[in-house]
Structure 1
Amino acid sequence: MEARDHLAHWRAQILARILLVVVTLGGLTAIPSILLAIGEGLWSVAVIDSVAMVWITAIWRMKHLSHTTRSTHFLAAAFMVGVGLLAKVGPVSQIYLMAVPVLTALLMGLRPALVALLGATVAVLALGYLPSPGVELVGLPQAGLLKGAILALNFLFITSVITLSCAVLLRHLERSLEELANSAESLENSRNALQMLNMELLTTIQERDRSAQDIHQLAFYDPLTGLPNRRLLLDRISALLASSARSQTLSAVLFIDLDRFKVINDARGHATGDAVLKNTAARLLQLVRKSDTVARIGGDEFVVLLAHVGTNADGAISTALRVAETVRSALAEEIEIDGHSYSSSASIGLSLLPKEGQTADDLLREADTAMYRAKSQGRNSIAFFEDAMQADVERRLTMESELAAAMDEGALQMHFQPQFDCHGKAIGAELLMRWPRQDGSMVPPSVFIPLAEESGLIVRLGLWALREACAALKELGQRGRIMPLSVNVSPTQFRQPDFVDTVRQALAESGAPAHLLILEVTEGLLVEKMDETIARMHELTAMGLRFSIDDFGTGYSSLAYLKKMPLYELKIDRSFIMDTPENPSGTAIVQSILAMSKHLGLRVVAEGVETAAQSAFLASQRCDAMQGYLFARPAPLPALLAMLEADGLAASA
């Protein structure tokens, strides 16, 4: 409420109380006064008192009227009484008129009070001009202008002092109320601003708390499954290492890798893959205790941390293996996603803790190593970490580093093993890599080729072999020894996006004839993306190259792909040749492959021919070419050229 409203309300309350007092006291004094006036024959005084009482009583009762209206009527009644008494009683009754401007200042303000003061002074001046009834005023004439002026000036002076004091006091009161109202409003605004600031501060704190929670969630939990991530897992392993050492108990770590997740993810998309991962997380949580930890550390890899599974090694291993088998069986069960059933078994590596000097990273590495051992054993199995595994891993890492160094230093060698027809004539050769050590020993290709596949060095290794084949073709042509050369191409190398361009560039740089270059691929190349693979093969055969299926019969053998692929030859794996001709089953398989190849118009090369009996059998079956130690061991290109020149052999494509 504003100051003016406060003052108006206060004046209304004052008026109401003044009216109540006047009516109450008037009722007690006016009636006797009227009776006395009548008794004395002062009829005019009796009339004035009566009219005033009736008028004021009416104003008191009419509370619905506005404050200004009621105040005006009340002051008019008071003015009437004052003038009447002044006229009948004399100057002694000026007190009644003096009350009018003072009450006006109190009830209506300064300006109306000045008007009332002026009116009262004029009334005193006018009535003072007339002879004074009743008491004679000593020192003043009975009538006349001088008398009226003296009375009026004295009345004006004393009444002005009282009226102006009252008015000024009320004006200051009004200003004080305004200042108080402004202060109250300012305080209210400050309170509201403080409340808003508090709300903003609270909102900021809540947002910061939420941000902190989000940051904590992102820092320590996997966003897809909600499981602890690698960082939180390592913290918990470190804590478990300490607690297990204090309590002298053993705990275990299960490192879990889903076997067929990549196939499902590639075939059905990431949405299905994510659903599989969420389902796996949910199943793992159901299989362990609340005190255990299930974490996802990336891709399709999960880790289960089993706390305090035993007090001795045998008991802990037994418990951990039992839990691992439960996990393996549960994850091997089919799950349904969007109406389709999927199965994805798991390979599990297991390791115990604590060990002397063991860290969280050491423990994870051990379990990871055991998991890869389980995967190499055929997947969907469990392997317990042994120290020999770590030694094997370290040997492989050392060999990988040495292989990379050997490639950088040009220490690898390319040997050539010729292929012969049934008459003993060299009609081609296969390029075979050799890795000699400084100590004179040789690292077998069966060891370093798989290592190159796993480490990614196979692409670089394959490019080197391709360039060596092209260079050898060029040199053979310059020596007049025209014969096709076969070079092995790994699935990883073949699937490189720039493989076709790489082959084209190698041929262009060397000037080697494309029709003499045979690319040997394995049946494993066809396991994934068969249509894309066949399309790339057609692109290469359009350049003049030819394709051979190496180790035929040991992998993805199917007549369907034999009809679709632009093949030139099949190479029968040595595992079938070594059983001929003594073993009927092996002999029947070789005969079947030869017969099928003739119907399909494919050339056949028999690998691993080491005995005369094997050679005679293959010749009787009209095998196109034979390759093995019986005829020649792999040797460097100069040795091949020397052999060809010594025998006077020349072959044409």
Structure 2
Amino acid sequence: MPVVALAAVMMQGYQQDAAEQGEAQGLAQAAVIAEMAIGPALGGEEASGARGGGLTDGLSASQTEGMHRATEHAIFHGLVLRLRVRSFTGQVVFSDDGSTSGGVPVADPDFQAAANGGSRAQVINGDVDVIRVLQPLITSASGQSIGVLELYLPYEPIAKQLREQVNSTWWRMGGGLAALYLVLALLAWWTTRSLSRYAARQEHSAQHDALTGLPNRAAFRTRAEAVLAAAARDGSQGAVVLVDLNRFKEVNDTLGHLAGDELLQVVSTRMRAALGPENILARLGGDEFAAVLPGRDAVEAMALLETVHERASEELVLNGVPLRIEASFGVALYPEHGIAFQQLMNSADAAMYQGKRGTADIVIFSGAGAGHPHQWLMVQAELRHALERDELVLHYQPKVGLPGGEVRGLEALVRWQHPQHGLLPPGEFLPAAEHSGLIVPLTEWVLRRALADQSCWTATGQDWALSVNVSARNLEVPGFPQFVLNLLAEVGTPVHRLILEVTETALVSDMDAAVRAIAQLGASGIGISVDDFGAGYTGLSQLRGLPITEIKIDRVFVADVAHDPQSQAIVRSVIELAHGLGSRVTAEGVETPEVCQWLAEVGCDEAQGYLFGRPVPWPQVSPVPVVPSTEVEGVSR
């Protein structure tokens, strides 16, 4: 459209130029005719005509004959289409066709201008375009104007010449515009292609992880929702999987972030190859991946994930260090565990964290007993307010000596008196606190309140020791040992009357900070207890050198120890190991006299469980010894 508009403007300009050129040529030609033909034809009688007021008296016969001779050639050859000689009053005194009328009206501005000595030319458009010229007739003798020469000249030669010029110009312009259009088209094509590639790269970047090339969180959701929608229509099954690399932070901290990036690239390549193109794999961020396995039931999904786990955990070398990376897989099945994307992601997340807390690398969502980390944010927010509003309470469970059954100490167990949900056990909120910084102020609150309660029962004459659970996060906090010692000094409690119970998983982590904290606490005289021993497979090398005063056997091995030979063998081994390390042994989860009697027989030092009392506020703890009422015969040490 701009080119067409430009052409229209140029055409109009050329037409105007042609008209001006025709008018100029007409004026020049009229001047030549007037001077070379008309003037000589009027001859010597022009003076008498001038004296008579111009040509008002007309022409003489000789002048008329001379005019015919002078104009015959031009008229015959078409150089002049019409010629009239007129007086100032408009009278036609001569015309090439002999007519005495017609012509431009006297009142016409062009005629008046010619009568006053000026020349006027104009292109007249009609069936045949002509150039009309009004030229004053000047006598050669006096130099005065005696009349008006009215000429009509052919415009076609000028128009033809103009068309030739226009055609030539159009060809040149067309070639130039074609070349320009070609250049612009090439530029537009190249720009469009570049923009398309850029847009494609931007779209790919927006949908894929820059490090691994896998789909990112947004792309995974889109693809997974499409698969789930198709599954809802045709009733097919499948699995949604969340994968989290274990101890990835240690790789970053030890070998550097570049090594961590390389590890992620290697692991993602291995998992993608193991899963194949028919399954969807994405990186959600950090060391967390997700997958969708369409058309697979639980058995098929587990078999495939076992292969993926094996491939991902193969040894690799980073910065010259050979290592193996383990991963936790959480699996949610559809439609068994739901068909909505977020519901399945939550279930897979819960299963994954359940696996991290246990020993299985691949866990299918069970629907029961699995925490829901997506609800932890709400729990953490409410727990902060609970600490501020003093909604937490402590219950205590006695630890009794064997075989006498006398109370030797109390273990502090935190409860949450929730304003809407009532009294909540620790399993409802401690996992959320463990995975946030709340565990630190929560543990500090428990220590302060428990030591205050211990001062109260000490005032009543009871010298029970106090056991308080601490998290691995507490041990990592700089200055935690000194905080505990300052708190003991503040309340005036001897250090030997406090026992800090550390879960075995904290020792498995083998964190230098935790080990240093345990060593410092033990060296100060505070008792250190390894809680839930046997659940986390603590290595003997980790126990060696630590100031462990107590080992608590996990309830899993205690529950059926009176009848199961394997449990009996394990418990005997733990007791012998603990005594060999100079530690006493406490059995957890003792609920029957038979189990209590058997433990006493094999040399267990203390016991704890519902047989001796459920967790209650400390004033409700009975100091009366609990003696088993049933003796088990045939038990040998």
Scaled by the length of structure 1, the TM-score of the pair is 0.53
Partner residue of 1:522 out of 483, 492, 503: 503
Aligned partner of 1:265 among 251, 269, 275: 251
- Aligned partner of 1:283 among 263, 270, 274: 270
For the 8 Å contact 1:261–1:273, the answer to whether it is kept is no
Deviations 1:619-648 (A, max 9, x none): 5556544434444443313334x858xxxx
The answer to whether residue 287 in structure 2 is matched with residue 300 in structure 1 is yes
Q: Does the 8 Å contact 2:275/2:304 carry over to 1? A: no
Q: Deviation per CA, 1:104-134: give whole Å up to 9, x if none.
A: xxxxxxxxxxxxxxxxxxxxxxxxxxxxxxx
Q: C-alpha distance in 1, partners of 2:596/2:278?
A: 67
In the other structure, the counterpart of 1:113 is: none
In structure 2, do the counterparts of structure 1 residues 517 and 371 end up closer, same or farther at CA, with 3 Å as the change threshold? closer
User: What's 1:512 paired with?
Assistant: 493
Tell me the residue number matched to 1:329.
Answer: 307
Kindly indicate whether residue 416 of structure 2 is the aligned counterpart of residue 416 of structure 1. Answer: no
**Whole-Å separation in 1 of the counterparts to 2:301 and 2:596:** 55
Is 2:532–2:553's contact at 8 Å kept on the other side of the alignment?
yes
**Bigger radius of gyration, 1 or 2?**
1
Superposition deviation, residue 565 in structure 1: 0.5
CA drift of 1:255 comes to 3.1
**1:332–1:343 contact (8 Å) kept in structure 2:** no
Give yes or no for the alignment of 1:493 onto 2:479: no
| 2:329 alignment partner, one of 347, 362, 376 | 347
CA shift, 1:566, in A, is 0.9
Amino acid at match of 2:409: G
Q: Give, in angstroms, the shift of residue 238 of structure 1.
A: 6.0
Q: 2:451 aligns with which of 445, 470, 481?
A: 470
**1:567 corresponding residue in structure 2:** 548
Amino acid at match of 1:411: E
Match of 2:514 in 1: 533
In the aligned structure 1, how far is the partner of 2:573 from the partner of 2:276? 57
Contact 2:244 2:329 in 1 (8 A): yes
Secondary structure of the residue that 2:537 maps to in structure 1?
coil
CA shift digits 1:58-100 (9 cap, x unpaired): xxxxxxxxxxxxxxxxxxxxxxxxxxxxxxxxxxxxxxxxxxx
Asked if 1:221 corresponds to 2:221, the answer is no
2:283 is paired with a residue whose SS is strand
Q: Which of 255, 260, 269 is the aligned partner of 2:241?
A: 255
Change (3 A) 1:425 1:223: same
Number of positions where the alignment pairs a residue of Structure 1 with one of Structure 2:
435
Deviation at 1:513, TM superposition (A): 2.9
Are the counterparts in 2 of residues 280 and 331 from structure 1 also a CA contact under 8 Å?
Answer: no
Pick the structure with more strand per residue. 2
Q: Which moved more, 1:565-574 or 1:601-610?
A: 601-610
Deviation of 1:585 after TM superposition, in Å, equals 4.8
Q: Is the 8 A contact 2:350 2:372 kept in 1?
A: no
1:16-415 alignment, distance < 5 Å = 219-237=206-224, 254-260=240-246, 262=248, 265=251, 268-286=255-273, 294-304=281-291, 316-317=295-296, 322=300, 325-326=303-304, 328-333=306-311, 334-337=314-317, 340=322, 342=324, 344-345=326-327, 347=329, 349-350=331-332, 364-365=345-346, 368=349, 379-381=360-362, 383=364, 406-415=386-395
Whole-Å separation in 2 of the counterparts to 1:362 and 1:601:
50
Q: 1:287 to 1:452 in 2, by over 3 A?
A: same
CA RMSD of aligned residues (A): 4.9
After TM superposition, give the deviation of residue 410 of structure 1 in Å. Answer: 2.8
- Which residue identity is paired with 1:297? L
The answer to whether the aligner puts 1:602 opposite 2:593 as a matched pair is no
Cα gap change, 1:531 to 1:398, in 2 (>3 Å):
closer
Amino acid at match of 2:329: S
Q: Any idea what SS the aligned residue of 1:222 has?
A: coil
Query: Aligned equivalents of 2:369 and 2:555: distance in 1?
Result: 31
C-alpha displacement at 1:295, in angstroms? 2.5
Give, in angstroms, the shift of residue 371 of structure 1.
Answer: 5.1
Which residue number corresponds to residue 68 of structure 1? Answer: none
Shift of 1:547: 1.0
SS state at 1:303 partner: strand
Determine helix, strand or coil for the equivalent of 1:564: coil
Using the alignment, how far apart are the partners of 2:274 and 2:601 within structure 1? 63
Q: Distance in 1 between matches of 2:558 and 2:277?
A: 58
Question: What code does the residue aligned with 2:617 have?
Answer: P
For 2:390 and 2:352, the matched residues in 1 are separated by: 35
Separation in structure 2 between the aligned mates of residue 327 and residue 370 of structure 1, nearest angstrom: 14
Equivalence for 1:91: none
1:557 Cα deviation after fit: 4.2
Write the letter of the residue equivalent to 2:243.
D
- After superposition, the C-alpha distances for 1:514-547 in whole angstroms (9 at most, x for unaligned) are 3321111122221122554332222223433221
* Structure 1 residue 303, shift from structure 2 partner: 3.2
**Structure 1 residue 263: deviation in Å?**
7.3
Residue 487 of structure 1 deviates from its aligned partner by 0.9
Q: Does 1:427 align with 2:408?
A: yes
1:231, distance to aligned residue in structure 2 (A): 3.0
Q: Secondary structure at the match of 2:509?
A: coil
Q: Within 2, Cα distance between the matches of 1:545 and 1:382?
A: 38
For 1:283, give the aligned amino acid.
Answer: R
Q: For 1:605, what is the secondary structure of its paired residue? A: strand
In structure 2, relative to structure 1, the CA distance for the partners of 1:328 and 1:274 (3 Å cut) is farther
| 1:295 alignment partner AA | A
CA contact (8 A) 1:369 1:389 kept: no
How far, CA to CA, are the matches of 2:358 and 2:589 in structure 1?
A: 27
- Partner of 1:145 in structure 2? none
Measured in 2, the distance between the counterparts of 1:387 and 1:569 equals: 36
- Verify the 8 A CA contact 1:325 1:382 in the aligned structure 2: no
Distance 1:218 1:513, change over 3 A: farther
For 1:619-630, list aligned pairs within 5 A. Answer: 619=600, 623-630=604-611
Which residue of structure 2 lines up, in the alignment, with residue 546 of structure 1? 527
What's the CA shift string for 1:285-309, capped at 9, x where partnerless?
A: 4456768754211122223457xx6
Report the identity percentage: 35
1:483-527 per-position Cα deviation (integer Å, ceiling 9, x unaligned): 421111122332233422432443344343333211111222211
**Structure-2 separation of matches of 1:391 and 1:503:** 31
Q: Which amino acid aligns with 2:216?
A: N
Contact 1:328–1:346 (CA under 8 A) maintained in structure 2: no
**Per-residue displacement from partner, 1:229-248 (whole Å, max 9, x unpaired)?**
22343455566678889x97
Aligned AA (2:439): I
Residues 486 and 520 in structure 1, CA contact (< 8 A), matched pair in contact too: yes
Candidates 621, 638, 643, aligned match of 2:619: 638
Q: Which amino acid in the other structure matches residue 342 of structure 1?
A: R
For the Cα contact (< 8 Å) 1:349–1:374, is it kept in 2?
no
Once the 2 structures are TM-superposed, how far is the Cα of residue 282 of structure 1 from its aligned partner? 2.5
- One-letter amino acid matched to 1:561: Q
Q: Secondary structure at the match of 2:544?
A: helix
1:604 aligns to what SS in structure 2? strand
SS at match of 1:265: helix
In the alignment, is the contact (CA less than 8 A) between 1:605 and 1:623 conserved in 2?
A: yes
- Gaps in structure 1 of 5+ consecutive residues: 1-200, 310-315, 645-653
Bigger drift between 450-459 and 391-400 goes to 391-400
Cα distance in structure 1, aligned partners of 2:275 and 2:382: 43
